[in-house]
Each structure stands twice: as C-alpha cells, then as structure tokens.
Amino acid sequence: MTKEISAYEALEKTIEQLSAQLNQRTEELAVINSVQEGLAKEMDIQAIYDLVGNRIRELFDAQVVGIATFDHEKQTENINYLIEKGERYYPVPRPLNTLRKHLIQTKEKVLINKNFEVVAEAFGMKKIPGTEHPKSALYVPMVIGDKVTGNISIQNIDRENAISDSDVRLLETLANTMGVALENARLFDETTRLLKETEQQKAELGVINSVQEGLAKELDMQAIYDLVGDRIRELFNAQAVVIATFDHDTATEHFKYLIEDGQRFYLASRPYDKLRQHLIVTRQKIVINSNYEAAYAKFGLKTLPGTNPTKSAVFVPLIIGDKVNSYISLQNNEIENAFSESDIRLLETLANSMSVALENARLFDETTRLLKETEQRTAELAVINSVQEGLARELDMKAIYDLVGNKIRDVFDAQAVIIATFDHDAGTEKFNYMIEKGERYYAEPRRYDKLRYQLIMTKQKILINNNIEEAFKEFGLKVVAGTEMPKSLLFVPLIVGNKVTSYVSLQNADKENAFKEADVRLLETLANSMSVALENARLFDETNRLLKETEQRTSELAVINSVQEGLVAQMDMQSIYDLVGEKIRHIFNAQIVDIVIYDKTKNVIEDRYANEKGDRTLLEAREPKGFRKHVINSRQPLVINKDLEKHLAEYDNEILIGEIPKSNLFVPLILRGEVNGIISLQNTDQENAFSDSDVSLLTTLANSMSVAL
C-alpha cells in the first residue's frame, strides 16, 4: 500500500512538472505568437516591443519590465520598453554600464534576488530618473548567433527573492526564442525603414529630376515651377500646393504655383505677412496641424481669393546660402493633423535638395533672359545698322526698305513681313515691302481700312493671335491678291514726332498664337528705334530726289543752252548735233550715244551723231527696223536692260556696226505729235545700266530738244 502511494505521488509530481512545463511552453508560445502577430499586422518595431512587453507583464510577478537593445558601435543601450507600476518611461539611449557589458561578454543571465543596492554599485548601475531601486531583478541576454543583441529585464520593487527558478527558466526560454523573432522583426522594420527612405529618395530625386528635366528641355522658369508643383501634388495628401518666391527688396511674395482641389489660381504679388517674415527670419519650417483659427490671428493670415480656409498646413523654406528665397506649402482644408512627421521630413528633404536645383534653374532662366535681351538688342541694332548701312551706301529708299524687311524676316518666325507708309493727305497706304513664304509681292496703294485707321489714331500695336475671321470682319480687312489668310497678325506703328508715318506687320499663316510677348516687345523696340532712322533715310532719299531733279533740270538746261549757243553762234546744224551729242555722252553712263533723224515721208532714218568708244562713224539713210521702228510706231521710250539676245529676236533687230550692247535706252524726239528723231544710249559693259531717273531725264531732254532743234 505504501509503495502504491509513493508511486502515485511520484506520478502526480511528474504530472505537475509536465503540466508546469506545458504551461511554460504555452506561455512562451503566446509571447512568440505575439511577435508573429505583430509581423503579420505589419506593425512597426516599437509596436511589437510594446506588445511583447505587455505580454511579459501579464506572465510575471514584476512591477518593472524592460526590453532594451544594444548598439555595439556606439556602446549604448536603447531602452525600447520600460514600465514601472503601470507607468511608461521613455529614457534616452545611454552608455553601456558594467552589468550590460557583463551580459554581452558572458552571454549569461544576471539574477539579483537580494542586496540589490550593493550589487548595483558593483555593476555601476544607476536609476533612471523617476524610477525606484528594485529589491529583486533578473537580466536575461537575447543572443543571435554569437552576439548579444539586447536584454529583457523583470524587477520587483516590493520584496527580495521575488524571482523563482521557474521565472528564470521561463524568461531565459522566452529570451532564447524571442531573440530570433524580435531580431527578425527588427530586420523587417529596418528593411521597411530603408524602403521608406528609398521611396523618399526616389520621390526627392523625382522632383529634382523634374527640375533637371525642365532645364534639359530648355523650359522657361514658369514651366519648371509648374512641373515641380505637379510632382509634389502627386506625392502628398494635400488639396493645396503653393510655391512662392520672395522679393526682399520690395518685401513681397510672388505666387509661382498655386493649385487647390485641381483648380489653378494666378494671384497677384502681395506684401509679406507675419508668417512669411517668420520663415525668412528663422529659416525654420512652420507646421499648423490644428487650431488654424488661432494661427490665422497670430500670423495675420488671410484666405486667398477663391480658395477655402485651411485646417492643416506646413510651410517649408527653401534656403540658398544663408537666405530664404522661397517656400513650399502643403495645405489640407478637410482634416486637422493631415501631415505626419514623415510628410514633413520628406518635404524638408525635398526643399533642401530643391533649393539649389531651383536656384540653378532660376539663374539659368535669368541668364537665358539676359541672353534673349542681348539677342534682342543685337537684332535691333542689326536692323538699325541696316538703315545706316543703306544710307552709307547711298542706296535709294526702296533698297533700304528691302534691306530692313529682309533683316526683320531673319529675326522673327513669320511667313509674311510688311512695311508700309501712310499718305495722310490721300488717306492711303503704300506697300514698300511685302513678302510671304519667300515670294515678293508688289501691291498697289489702297485706302485705309479700320485697322490702319486705329493704328494711326491710337499709336498702339494691334496683336491678333486667334479668331482671325472675326478680326477680319471687325476691321474690314482684305487679303492682298495672291496671298494666304493669316492665322496670327501683329501690327506695330512707326511714330515720328506725334504722327504715325508707317507700320511693320508680322503674319503667320500656319498657326495661331504665333507671336509671344517677347516678339511683341522686340518689334515694338525695333519700331521705336527704326522710326527716326527710316524717316531720316526717307528725308535723305527725298533730298537726293530733289537734288537729282535739280541736276536733271541743270543737265536739261545745259543741253538746251548748247543748242541755243549753237544757234547764236550761227553754227551749222551738224555742229549743233555734235555739240548736243557730246553733252549727252558726258551726262550718262553709256559707251554708245547716237542721234538719228526720221523722215516720215520717205520712212528713213539717218545718223546725225554717233559715238561708240570714240568711233564717230555715221551710217547712211536706211529704213527703220527693230528697236527704232518700235519707238517710232509707239512714240514711247524703250528700255532693254537685260536678255538683249532674246529681245533682238523679239523685235527683229540687227546690229549694223560695233559691239552688242548689254543695256539699251531709246527715247523719241517728238514735235507736234510726230516722231522726228530718236536718241539712243547703249552700255556694252553691264546689264541694268539705265535707271528710271535716266529714262526720265533723257525723255525730258528729248522733249525740250525737239523744239530747240
């Protein structure tokens, strides 16, 4: 019976031990499962430390539970979880003391069940501010591979010997099994953190690359602000995104990008408020995640026209050197606390990185603007110099208009260029230069339309970049015969004194909105500069014309006087022809001069004067043919300035003596409506030798000589 009782007691004891071991395994698995549960829920590592720490508190009779990890490089411990009598503590990392170093070196637990203060002094242990010294404590290392990564601690501040052998075994077992699980959780958290950092870097690079992309595409500065602003909108949960720059000289901010709920706003510049001044002075971000009404009052903020009041906002300055040049703002008008710490960190990181990139873009834009201004000045000077060049070469006014018009064609993206002058007395415009798609047009003068009248009255440019059909109806415009209907038009008046004397027009037949503000500014600048230069050229041309007319009258009188002189001196008729012929030879650029008389009754012509490079041979009477026959029949001058061989065949003309000329001018001598002779000039060296003024002068001389002779 006794043996049976002993066996029963032994069996019962074994059952109790197995039951205790089973409970320990169950409790251990519960804690491990808590870690796995945290991983499954993708909680962050701190949440997992909290979950495990709370579970350990439920298992042990301990007023204090601590979980800490070691940073071996920095020789510090980071206390991830610490609770005493229900109160949570968040101590900062601290250097490893002797006890922690002992744990790391020995990889063995440290159990202090009595005389804690003596042991604590030996291990260099110090209380965390606000906590008590325990009377019993257990420190169990967490070992991964051959390395102690941290420790779990349970402490009782009420009594000694509070921690039993089973507590030690359970916590050691938990530490052994939890070590790997917590390390996996830590690695998972580290991986997540690195992924987030990678995403943050990717987002940051995305915005920076947007700036670089804008530079690479040679976008203007506004296009870069738009590109960057749109990119930031994609990254953050914000109904509103603002990018603004500061003009410190005028103490104003300029809104470069402002969008709210998908709607773009274009606001005028405005003076700094207190918030902007605070950004500039402190160079620190401003986060307003709640009580926005109080912030409105504190900073003197105002809701921008057309936008909604904000509930959450963050303002981050963009700093170059030591100076705040601009800022980015995210705003949420639906919820408070919309922007997390990670949002703010990302925006700060972006701002730090973007500052230089945007400043480089701004400097690039400024450089481009200055280059364009330089090009504009160069283009302006080129056109003005063209006018001066024309004057220096003593070109006629038509040549100067051609020279200036061609220069303007080179400067602008326009298929058509027109330069026209106004005759205010006749109410007409004269087209001095008109070209479209490389083809030159010579339109007749025409009456003012409403557009020209508006140019004259307002002295202001007229830009028509779209809806051209409506403009044609409004101004009564008409397409010049043979030209295309334009899609964009720009007219700029040329003003001398207070009077519009002419205009320049650019026209694009391919596209609307062809002429930008820069085009308008440049053409206006050119027009302002050209007005006086072209007027001087016109006056110079007019002076030359009057001088030539005076010379023409002088030459005419000289020839007439020669005839009179011959009559007075009672010279014979042949001497008078010789005298007149020599006078003409000295006046004109001609190697050949001849004067023939025409006898209508006999239908013959006979030389009275001939000189071809000194050869004075006279031809006898003959029937008129070719060019001279045409002049006799038409009683009109005949000019053949090029393609002489073709005209010889056309008029059935033959060269009876001497060289074949390259330019010819034949003018009839007419008396009482009848042709009684012909004066001929011929140039054997060059085509286009005889100008309109030559024709006019020789015709006048012929008319005057007919009577005198």
- With a cut of 60, say whether residue 38 has pLDDT above it: no
List Cα–Cα distances, 158 to 61, 81, 83, 161, 435, in angstroms. 10, 21, 15, 10, 105
**What are the tokens at 631?**
């002049």
Secondary structure of residue 329 in the 3-state scheme: strand
Considering only residues 265 and 355, tell me which one the structure prediction assigns the higher pLDDT. Answer: 265
For 602-622, write each residue's pLDDT tens digit. 999 999 999 988 888 888 889
Q: What is the pLDDT of residue 390?
A: 60
- With a cut of 60, say whether residue 118 has pLDDT above it: yes
Q: What is the pLDDT of residue 416?
A: 92
Residues with Cβ within 8 Å of 7's Cβ and at least 6 positions away in sequence, in order, are none
The H or E element that residue 148 is part of is strand 147-156
- With a cut of 90, say whether residue 516 has pLDDT above it: no
Specify the range with the lowest mean pLDDT, choosing from 7-16, 491-500, 517-526.
Answer: 7-16
Mean pLDDT across 575-601: 87
HSE of 145, CA atoms in CB hemisphere, 13 A: 4
Mean pLDDT across 226-231: 83
- With a cut of 90, say whether residue 281 has pLDDT above it: yes
Asked if 340 contacts 238 with a C-beta cutoff of 8 angstroms, the reply is no
In the chain, the largest separation of any two C-alpha atoms, in whole Å, equals 190
Mean pLDDT across 496-517: 89
**What are the tokens at 62?**
């301990």
Asked if 488 contacts 514 with a C-beta cutoff of 8 angstroms, the reply is yes
Q: What is the pLDDT of residue 491?
A: 94
List Cα–Cα distances, 168 to 19, 137, 141, 152, 437, in angstroms. 17, 10, 12, 11, 97
Q: What angle do CA 252, 257, 262 make, to 5 degrees?
A: 140
Asked if 150 contacts 66 with a C-beta cutoff of 8 angstroms, the reply is no
Considering only residues 362 and 624, tell me which one the structure prediction assigns the higher pLDDT. Answer: 624
With cut-offs at 50, 70 and 90, classify the pLDDT of residue 384.
low
Q: Which amino acid is located at 269 in the chain?
A: S
With cut-offs at 50, 70 and 90, classify the pLDDT of residue 40.
low
How far apart CA 586 and CA 130 sit, in angstroms, is: 123
- With a cut of 80, say whether residue 285 has pLDDT above it: yes
Asked if 70 contacts 96 with a C-beta cutoff of 8 angstroms, the reply is yes
Considering only residues 649 and 544, tell me which one the structure prediction assigns the higher pLDDT. Answer: 649
Residue indicated by tokens 């007919």:
706
- With a cut of 70, say whether residue 393 has pLDDT above it: no
- With a cut of 90, say whether residue 673 has pLDDT above it: no
How far apart CA 440 and CA 122 sit, in angstroms, is: 106
Q: What is the pLDDT of residue 596?
A: 92
With cut-offs at 50, 70 and 90, classify the pLDDT of residue 5.
low
Q: What is the pLDDT of residue 709?
A: 67
Q: What is the pLDDT of residue 207?
A: 66
HSE of 204, CA atoms in CB hemisphere, 13 A: 21
Per the document, the length of the chain is: 709
How far apart CA 507 and CA 485 sit, in angstroms, is: 9
Residues with Cβ within 8 Å of 657's Cβ and at least 6 positions away in sequence, in order, are 612, 617, 619
Considering only residues 191 and 323, tell me which one the structure prediction assigns the higher pLDDT. Answer: 323
Specify the range with the lowest mean pLDDT, choosing from 31-40, 299-308, 335-344, 620-629.
Answer: 31-40
Average pLDDT, the chain: 83
Considering only residues 648 and 17, tell me which one the structure prediction assigns the higher pLDDT. Answer: 648
Q: What is the pLDDT of residue 504?
A: 93
- With a cut of 60, say whether residue 391 has pLDDT above it: no
Mean pLDDT across 335-359: 80
What DSSP letter does each residue of 192-239 carry, written as one string? HHHHHHHHHHHHHHHHHHHHHHHHHTT--HHHHHHHHHHHHHHHS--S
- With a cut of 80, say whether residue 39 has pLDDT above it: no
Considering only residues 82 and 186, tell me which one the structure prediction assigns the higher pLDDT. Answer: 82
Instruction: Write the DSSP symbol of residue 688.
Output: S
Mean pLDDT across 64-78: 94
With cut-offs at 50, 70 and 90, classify the pLDDT of residue 154.
very high
Burial of 388 from C-beta contacts in 10 A (0-12 / 13-18 / 19+): middle
With cut-offs at 50, 70 and 90, classify the pLDDT of residue 169.
confident
Distance between first and last Cα of the chain: 181
With cut-offs at 50, 70 and 90, classify the pLDDT of residue 44.
low
Secondary structure of residue 419 in the 3-state scheme: strand
SS3 content of the chain, % helix, strand, coil (to 5): 50, 25, 30
Burial of 229 from C-beta contacts in 10 A (0-12 / 13-18 / 19+): buried
- With a cut of 80, say whether residue 644 has pLDDT above it: yes
Specify the range with the lowest mean pLDDT, choosing from 222-236, 339-353, 526-540.
Answer: 526-540
With cut-offs at 50, 70 and 90, classify the pLDDT of residue 32.
low
Render the burial of 526-546: b for 16+ CB within 10 Å, e for the rest: bbebbbebbbebbebbeeeee
How far apart CA 329 and CA 304 sit, in angstroms, is: 13
Spatial CA neighbour of 262 closest among 243, 286, 287, 238: 238
For 95-105, write each residue's pLDDT tens digit. 999 999 999 99
Q: What is the pLDDT of residue 388?
A: 63
- With a cut of 90, say whether residue 334 has pLDDT above it: no
With cut-offs at 50, 70 and 90, classify the pLDDT of residue 267.
confident
Rg (CA), the chain: 52
Mean pLDDT across 454-459: 92
Secondary structure of residue 592 in the 3-state scheme: strand
- With a cut of 70, say whether residue 158 has pLDDT above it: yes
Q: What is the pLDDT of residue 634?
A: 92
Q: Which of 248-252, 266-270, 287-291, 408-412 has the highest mean pLDDT?
A: 248-252
Q: What angle do CA 595, 687, 441 make, to 5 degrees?
A: 115
Q: Is the dihedral of CA 185, 191, 197, 203 positive or negative?
A: negative
Give percent above pLDDT 70 in the chain: 86
Q: What is the pLDDT of residue 571?
A: 67
The backbone region for 442, taken as left when phi is positive above 0, alpha when psi lies in -120 to 50, beta otherwise, is beta
Specify the range with the lowest mean pLDDT, choosing from 216-230, 241-255, 395-409, 457-471.
Answer: 216-230
Q: Which of 15-29, 307-321, 368-382 has the highest mean pLDDT?
A: 307-321
With cut-offs at 50, 70 and 90, classify the pLDDT of residue 138.
very high
- With a cut of 60, say whether residue 394 has pLDDT above it: no
HSE of 235, CA atoms in CB hemisphere, 13 A: 24
